Structure 1
Amino acid sequence: MQLRELAHARTGDKGNTLNVSVICRDPRHYDHLCAHLDAATVKARLAGIVYGDVMRYELPALGAFNFVLRDALGGGVTRSLALDAHGKSVSSALLAIEVPDPA
């Protein structure tokens, strides 16, 4: 199943760094996603977009994660010629990650 069935996501930019928040639709799925959605998986999914480190911050009280993606915006909004300089479409790409069904 795709991550989008268990969570939604929002992005934000700061310079050449992109934040992606992933919020569980049902807090009961948090532990499942904690086990299956790590920084390496996110970096692999976004290869060709993210060239720096990916860090995962866990927010269990919110049933959410914040991924910080370094060197992900072509130098930042004011320097990039990318069509999506703010990285808003990255959340959709991330939500297409395949994760096991929590059953």
Structure 2
Amino acid sequence: MYPANASRSHAVLSVAERRRDAEQSALPAAPGAAATDPTEYFGCNVFDDKTMRRYLPKAVYKSLRTTIDLGHRLDPAVADVVANAMKSWAMERGADHYTHVFYPLTGLT
């Protein structure tokens, strides 16, 4: 057992070492990607316009774009379709957790 100050110092050093190890083995965000430089994969997991066109039915895409571009109210039926499309897209990319907000998690956070 460490004295109080030694325990704290040991814990801080362990965390710092773990952080260094994690920084040295930075994981790419995209499943199967080989890039370790964040600029090579930053933003690759975004449900962007191109992805929306691919995953959403035309009418839903159009309605969503009207909401985004003109500020019209979002139809709850459209919201459900978009949520399901986003979930499918995310799971295809290896997501095993789903929330209403996506943060760029790389395994280091």
Q: Same fold (TM over 0.5)?
A: no
Which has the greater radius of gyration? 2
TM-score for both structures, normalised by structure 1: 0.31
Q: Which has the higher strand share?
A: 1
Q: Which has the higher helix share?
A: 2
